[in-house]
Structure 1
């Protein structure tokens, strides 16, 4: 990897990168989200260089961008890499001095991942997630001064890209596919829908319980009124009414009792779950 303070453009800046042959095929198979990331990187070329690039991007350039994305960098990080290397690696000066003969080769050199440092988090001499100088690059400089040749970066299997299985979702990611095959946004939507369904079920249960309690309260009140009437008629009869008055009172009491019975039976038919309340009041 080039030192952060480098100033001269590399001698092979105009040379194409390897594996250009399969880039044309890969560019037609990438997920929509990855295609958006490629376009975001392409929008980050320095303006002076962008005007020199062909309208139809060559396969070697698209392949270099895909390799950089496969290396674990986001489109934003690659744009920062391009802008930094444009100045610190001497490409801007080379263009001003008329020494930049291959715009495509320069664009490839600006974006492609470095293979000099064995630490995949090293970004041109800086540890990406820490923002500090890369200790492995420091060791490389020490070894170089001692005449030792540093080893190349070890490459493991390239992470695979996956597409979200959510309906109508075009999100994609790199690495292990999430459980259920959904991106984090779709997973959040599924969890929110499940939570809303649970809330609706609880609300429906509470509403049913409230309605049942209200019906039970109405039934208890009806029974209380019936008892009060019975007690009133009994008291009235005990005060020495004539046989005719007592008979009339008895008929009225029976009619009221029949009406209460009919009302009670009607309520129990409509709400059988209130049978326990009715038995407790008899």
Structure 2
């Protein structure tokens, strides 16, 4: 089941399974979201919760009990309930359950709110700790943008001048090795060689927006004010690029296994609500 919202020249379609954005297009039928061809990657724009990336040994400890939690968490594999909808907005919800408590022993409610306004789609997250205990979590976005022309015809443009060092992955965990990206006039031409070691992971950035240009012309901007970290990723020879604003990232090999000690983790007190929002602006 899907829900479609519309405003002006734009429409967005969201799948209830995973509350996943599967389409963002103009009235002229220009599609900006990757089609999800499983030959390359069968997702479109999954939500990453209650972790981002991979835990060491896919496990963690809480109150001396070991729990097993797979890469990027479970929200993307859950059926969300549509709890509110208008012509240009839709709100989806999941809550902790007997099944989620087996792998993540915290009581929560998660809302995703999609809103189309003018030339952009905003995607807001609300995480509420409904339990009595303090709750550790990460949350992040993973939208894949369709690049229908030659990959080398595209570039990414940072909002600000950056000295860009990204962290390399080692068996899906963050290593201590970094690599420098050469930036000219805030721009990096896209090549598949950039991603030969998997995703580009930035723990911190000065920029709070990133633009994709096509043949020198900007086509969309992802705004991620408030998100401390960012991933950029594609698969070899795949016609898409993921721009991923994050609160958190994968473990390192040195992680203790306790979520409260995890680098980049968010901490939410009982009955408190965490809010964050990013947007996709069509240019």
Q: TM-score with structure 1 length normalisation? A: 0.20
Structure with the higher strand share, 1 or 2:
2
Structure label with greater radius of gyration: 1
The structure whose RCO (Cα within 8 Å, separation 6+) is larger is 2
Structure with the higher helix share, 1 or 2:
1
Q: TM-score with structure 2 length normalisation? A: 0.20
